Every structure is written in C-alpha cells, then in structure tokens.
Structure 1
Amino acid sequence: MSDKSTITRRSALTLLGAGATAIAMPMIIRPRPAWAANGVINVTTYDKFLPKEFVEKFERDSGIEVRIRLTDDQGKQYNLLTAEGANPSTDIVTVAGHRYSQFISSKLIQPLDTAKIPNWKNLNTAYQDAPWARVDDKLWGLPILAGYEGLARNVDYVKDAPSWQIMFDPEYKGLTSYIVSDFMTIAMQMLGHDGDFVTYVDKADIAQKATNEARDLLIKHKDMVRKYYDAGSEVQQMFINEDIYLAHSWSGPAAKLIMEGHPIELSVPKEGTFGFCYTLNVVNNAPNAENAYKLLNAILESPEVGAAMTRQSGYSSTINGVADLLNDREKLASTLPQEQLDRIIFFSSVNRDMKNQMIDRATAEVKAA
C-alpha cells in the first residue's frame, strides 16, 4: 500500500470572472455546496475502510465535508499525532485494539461518550463493552471491523490443516509464508507459551526463554518458507501465482481472495490464535469533535454500511444484521464455526513494551540467521 497521504473531497464551486470582466458583468452568486454548510471532519483511516457511497451520502445528509487521509501503519498515525501535539489536524484516527495503551498513555485520543452515539445499540453486543476496549474503566473507540490471524491454505493442494504444525511439514517445503513478527507469537502459543505476554508481567526471564524457543523453531525451519512477507497484497499474489500453498495470514487479505473465488480457506487451528478490532477513535483536542460523533453515529445507522466495509476490506463487521446481507461466498470468507471463534484471544494492551522489544529482537535474529 502506498505511503502517500490521500485526501478525498468534493470540488468547491469557484466564482468566474475577474478584472474588467467582473465590472462588465453582474456577479453570479452560486449557493455553497451542501457539504460545506456545516463544516468538515478529518479522518485518518486505512484504504477500503470507509465506503465511498457511505461517505457521499453522509456529506449530502449532514452538510459535513469528509476529508480522508489514508494510512497503512499504526506507528505512522501515532508519530503524526505526537508531532502535532495539542493542535491535531485530524478528528478521527483508526486504532487497532492492542495499540490503545500507547495512544491513551500519550493522551492522543479521548474517551468515547456513547451518549452522543444514539445508534450504539446497533453494535453487536460482543463489542459494546468488550474487556479489551475498556481501559481505565472507559471506552475509547467505536469497533468497526474485527480481524484475526488465521491459517490460509489452497484447498486444491492442502485438504486439511487442524494444527499450526503443518507450517513445518516437509511436504510443503518452500511453499509457506508468514510475517515473522506475527507468526512468532503464534509459534509461542503453539509451544504452550503466552504469545501475548500478558502473564509475563515482571517475569522477563520466563518471557525471554519462551521467545527464544519460538525464535529457534523458526530458524530451524527457515527452509520451509518461500518468502517472509510484510503486506497483505504480497501473500495474496503468492497464493494467486501458486507460489505458496500455506500461509499465516490476517483474515482480511485471505478473505478477499475467498470472495474473489480463489480456492483458499481460512481457519483457526486447535492451538488457537489472536484477534483484534479496528476502532474509530476521536482525537484529543479534535477541532471538529461534534462532527466526529455524527460520523460515528451514521456508521451504525444501517447494516448496509457494515456489509460494504466487509466486502471492501475482507474484515468482519461489528454491526448487527450484516450477515443477512452477505452472499454465501462472502459469509464463508468473513465467518468462522463457533468452535474456531472460541479459539481466538483478543490482543491485550497489557505488557506491550516487553512484548514489542522481545519480539522485535527475535524477528531480526530470525531474518539474519
């Protein structure tokens, strides 16, 4: 995904004529476009998250111009807000649940006032007051899309995959791929350790030993890997080209392949996995906070918005009634059997610094080995 910031907006009407022409002709006064009547709202989010049709309808209905800045990285959003300090240029940012602590402790986002969101009742009850979303006894964002790390496989070549161990099966040597840092925590989980580091608070020695064990496993089986990838588009292309048959993948990229008819299946193996929600968060000192709440409320107004988000991003919507609007292939791509859903552990904000430091170091060691 390009790192270039993109802003979408309607073109403003301009007054024609200048100088002598303006004197010779009467001035034509044109009405301001509807979207310009009630101000603006600036949103930093990922590509395909806010459907174009929804944004255009919201502008018409509310008279608020929506300016979207695209991002492809949590760190970039954090760094931008930190640099802007008390005078942010954006009103809403898109934060992954496990990054809450970083944004909250830096006072970059504000607690969410659900009283300003009458349509909050349309949010699935699993997300209305989820434990991972509540920090310091406050809610901090509107969950819009849920994702998880899954085992993706080409069903033409891999019929079943009940365990993450299949990623190390010699039959698929050179036909697997993963993001090293993300798969590292899955490997820890597979080995019986805590891949989210929640139980390792004040237990650095135990955490390091567990991390090293997963690191050594990945180094031992480096020859299994066709390529370490970074972006979802990379793993999609490898599956399309049949360069790989198996991959650790975030649900979004894999789901898009399924929706497009490719022979891919996504599952949660018996050892479990990790999940998260993308949330829309109102920025601290947001210049257009009231407009921000209007947008959040509009998102929850209709399940059609959630369905469009799912179709575009591949991630599962958090809004009630979306499943009824999806076709069979879309449901296959964005839903899981209950027993697999029960294996998903939502990322915690606890002990993130230790986790990031140890995983980052181990990732570098795997790549250098």
Structure 2
Amino acid sequence: MTMTLNRRAFGRGAAALGLATLAAPAYLRHAHAQTKELNVWAYDGFITDGLRDRFEAETGAKLNIRMVTDQGEMFNLMMAEQGNHSADIVTCAGHRFYQFIDAGLLAAVDKGRLTAWDKILPEYANAGWVSRGGQDWGVPLVVVATGLLYNTEMVSEKPESWDVIFSEGFAGKTSYQLQNFMPIVMDYLGHDGSGVSYAGDTEAAQKAVNAARDFMIEHKSKVRRYYEGPTEVQQMMVTGDIAMAQASSGPSSQLIIDGFPAAFTIPKEGGQAYAYGFNVVANAKNMDNAYSFLNMLLSDPVNGAEIVRSTGLESTIAGTADQLSEAERAALALSPEERARLSWVNVETAAFIFDLVDAAAEEVRAA
C-alpha cells in the first residue's frame, strides 16, 4: 500500500508558554535520560509535522522518519539487518504483522510502559487481530475499509451490488487493484474471501481462488486499468477516465473532503477491512523514547484528527470524531448496514490465502 497524502501541520502545547519542562508528563520526562533520537518507519501522513515538532520539543529527542511504501520491502529490509535494527518503531498492516512477529522482528506491547492504551477505542484495542499468542503486538492507528468508490455525476444511483463494476454499461470505466479486489470477488461469487473457512484445506481454497481468477479473466475487457497506488485511482477519477473503482477508504475520503463529486459504499456482497498500526521493534535501541512517542500520540485526540486529515483514514484514537468538522465526519461515515458488510482480514489465515491470491492475480494480469 502506498500512502501519497497531503501533510497538514499542527502545533500546540506548553512550549509556547515556556512551560514545556515543568508541564511535561512523567513518561516524557523519563525519556530525557535516554538516547536522544527515535527512528520510525511510517507511511506518509501517519506522523504530522506538528506531532514530530511537539515530540522533539518536549523530549529533546530527534524524531527521524523513514517513509514506507510496501510491507514486503520493509520486511526484507528488517530481515537483512539481522537483529541490528535501525528502526525503533515500524508501521505494520494488521493482517500482515504475523510475518514480522513470527520472524522475531517485533516486541510485544508492554502495558506497563504504554500507559495510554486505554485511549484507543475499545472496538480496536480489544480486536482479535491486535493479538497473537496471547499478547498484543502493536498500537492500532488507522482503519482501512475496501469498498466501491464512484463518481456521483457519472453514476446516477448508489450502487447496491458489485454487479455494476462488471456491467457492460460501465465497460472501460472501471478500475481495481488486483490483489485487493480478488478476495472481494471471491465473496461476490459466494466463496470465502477471508479464507477462514478454508483453513487446513488448501484444495478448497485453491478452488475458490481459481473461480475468482477465471471470473476476472472473463471480465478483463471491462476494466480500464489495474492500479497500484491510491494516487492513481484518484487521478483517474478526477480526469473522468473512470466512473468507479474498488478502492480503500483513505483516497476515497480525501476526494470527498476536497469537494470532488464522489461517494464511497460497501456493496451488499461485502468489502474488507484491516488496520495499520505502530509496532515497537524487538530490542529497539531507543525503547523508552518509542513508548514516550506512543503515549503522546494516543493521549491527544487532536493527533487522531490530524491523521484523518492527512490520510483520509479513520483514526482509532478516542475522541477524534469530536475534533472533526461535520463534512469530515460525513466523508468517513459508513452506515451501520455498510459497516456490518465488512469482513476483517484474518491474521491466522492471511498468509495461507494471500499466497494463493497473489499467484492468481499474476495469472489474471498475464491473461
């Protein structure tokens, strides 16, 4: 997933009054005795300029940010470091972090240090995908929903089904990301896109994936282009090259907030959801600063609001909605019925089904 998003700085705090040292919470004061830097690998927009400036002002530690564009690339880089990690915090997708855990790259969350854990909305703090082996492995930060983005001036009625993206009426006016769309197509055809029901039955899973593959090849002539990054789908929407696309909630919300005539929905056959979070690296060199940063991030819903504005994604930080305008809340909103159609990507079966999906997607591309 590539996050190419606008940064919007914000600033506040006691430093403006010359009280930063006296007012700093205990978890920040403690960090002063530690090393003077923190290294974070993050997607664009996950750390605003204002948050970085505030962290540096209140801790005296320099925050170094390395932009992430791909989970696989990040995994390979961390493996190549052979335990001598250059990052203290990394950004893992909730349905992919099992790879990092099983490879020994991450540290379990220390609730004694992460005192602001209760600032995460319970829906996400208590979610099954946060845990593995009875331990929590990261701070859920933003939630991604995958559904149908459409131009309201080109599509006269709100689509109720994924039928529309395969219809003759919109041939050449649709787009989707192959790997992300295939599990949705599996659900559309009556199979299990999550792969949960196929655990331990590779033959049944392969049959379901093959059905989606064959269907997508059959309808390949109707898609204008397979896209890779969110800016591609945004550009095609703005230029009028497409009328609709399978897309994530981030780029969709940004278009809506910016005033483009678009809407986002979860069709009746369903969509998928997953989260991105910050994960502390095993044996991080700047462990105390890592927890100071995470506590600061979670302790102020203004941070959540700024992340929403810079990514278009829903924040997990409690109180964020109160910091948003009515228009911003509306752009993020899904009806209860639409939210109920979302299936969370399952951590335990993700590796098993993704391997099959990735291979099948390449077959669709080559057909």
- State the TM-score, normalizing by the size of structure 2: 0.89
Correspondent of 2:46 among 44, 49, 54: 49
Equivalent position SS for 2:39: strand
Given that residues 89 and 279 in structure 2 are in contact (C-alpha distance below 8 angstroms), is that contact kept between their aligned partners in structure 1?
yes
Equivalent position SS for 1:350: helix
Equivalent position SS for 1:98: coil
Superposed CA deviations along residues 24-54 of structure 1, whole A, max 9, x for unmatched, are xxxxxxxxxxx99851100000011111111
Gaps of 5+ in 2: 5-31
Q: Percent identity?
A: 39
- Number of the residue aligned with 1:140: 137
Shift of 1:90: 0.5
Q: Judging changes above 3 Å, is the alpha-carbon distance between structure 1 residues 38 and 84 closer, same or farther for their aligned structure 2 residues? A: closer
Q: How far apart, in 2, do the equivalents of 1:360 and 1:76 lie?
A: 16
- Number of the residue aligned with 1:207: 205
Give yes or no for the alignment of 1:84 onto 2:81: yes
Give yes or no for the alignment of 1:219 onto 2:217: yes
**Alignment root-mean-square deviation, CA:** 1.7
- Number of the residue aligned with 1:13: none
Q: How far apart, in 1, do the equivalents of 2:359 and 2:301 lie?
A: 42
- Number of the residue aligned with 2:270: 272
Given that residues 153 and 245 in structure 1 are in contact (C-alpha distance below 8 angstroms), is that contact kept between their aligned partners in structure 2?
yes
Shift of 1:328: 2.2
Q: How far apart, in 2, do the equivalents of 1:279 and 1:155 lie?
A: 32
- Number of the residue aligned with 1:149: 146
Residues matched between the structures, number: 339
- Number of the residue aligned with 2:260: 262
- Number of the residue aligned with 1:61: 58
Correspondent of 1:285 among 265, 283, 288: 283
Shift of 1:349: 1.6
Given that residues 35 and 286 in structure 2 are in contact (C-alpha distance below 8 angstroms), is that contact kept between their aligned partners in structure 1?
no
Residue 70 of structure 2 aligns to which amino acid in structure 1?
D
- Number of the residue aligned with 2:311: 313
Superposed CA deviations along residues 119-152 of structure 1, whole A, max 9, x for unmatched, are 2221111111211111101000001111110100
Residue 164 of structure 2 aligns to which amino acid in structure 1?
I
Q: Judging changes above 3 Å, is the alpha-carbon distance between structure 1 residues 199 and 95 closer, same or farther for their aligned structure 2 residues? A: same
Q: Judging changes above 3 Å, is the alpha-carbon distance between structure 1 residues 63 and 107 closer, same or farther for their aligned structure 2 residues? A: same
Given that residues 269 and 340 in structure 1 are in contact (C-alpha distance below 8 angstroms), is that contact kept between their aligned partners in structure 2?
yes
Given that residues 129 and 139 in structure 1 are in contact (C-alpha distance below 8 angstroms), is that contact kept between their aligned partners in structure 2?
no
Q: How does 1:331-350 map to 2 (within 5 A)?
A: 331-350=329-348
Give yes or no for the alignment of 1:172 onto 2:166: no
Give yes or no for the alignment of 1:303 onto 2:301: yes
Equivalent position SS for 1:332: helix
Equivalent position SS for 1:311: helix
Equivalent position SS for 2:45: coil
- Number of the residue aligned with 1:118: 115
Equivalent position SS for 1:291: helix
Correspondent of 1:72 among 69, 72, 84: 69
Q: How far apart, in 1, do the equivalents of 2:45 and 2:93 lie?
A: 16
Q: How far apart, in 2, do the equivalents of 1:37 and 1:269 lie?
A: 50
Residue 77 of structure 1 aligns to which amino acid in structure 2?
M
Q: Which moved more, 1:346-355 or 1:179-188?
A: 346-355
Shift of 1:356: 2.3
Q: How far apart, in 1, do the equivalents of 2:101 and 2:117 lie?
A: 22
Which of structures 1 and 2 has the bigger CA Rg?
1
Moved over 6 A (4+): none
Q: How far apart, in 2, do the equivalents of 1:2 and 1:293 lie?
A: 24
Q: How far apart, in 2, do the equivalents of 1:110 and 1:37 lie?
A: 19
- Number of the residue aligned with 2:232: 234
Superposed CA deviations along residues 78-100 of structure 1, whole A, max 9, x for unmatched, are 01111112210000000000012
Give yes or no for the alignment of 1:190 onto 2:188: yes
Given that residues 36 and 64 in structure 1 are in contact (C-alpha distance below 8 angstroms), is that contact kept between their aligned partners in structure 2?
no
Superposed CA deviations along residues 272-301 of structure 1, whole A, max 9, x for unmatched, are 111111110000011001110000000011
Q: How far apart, in 2, do the equivalents of 1:218 and 1:341 lie?
A: 26
Equivalent position SS for 1:57: helix
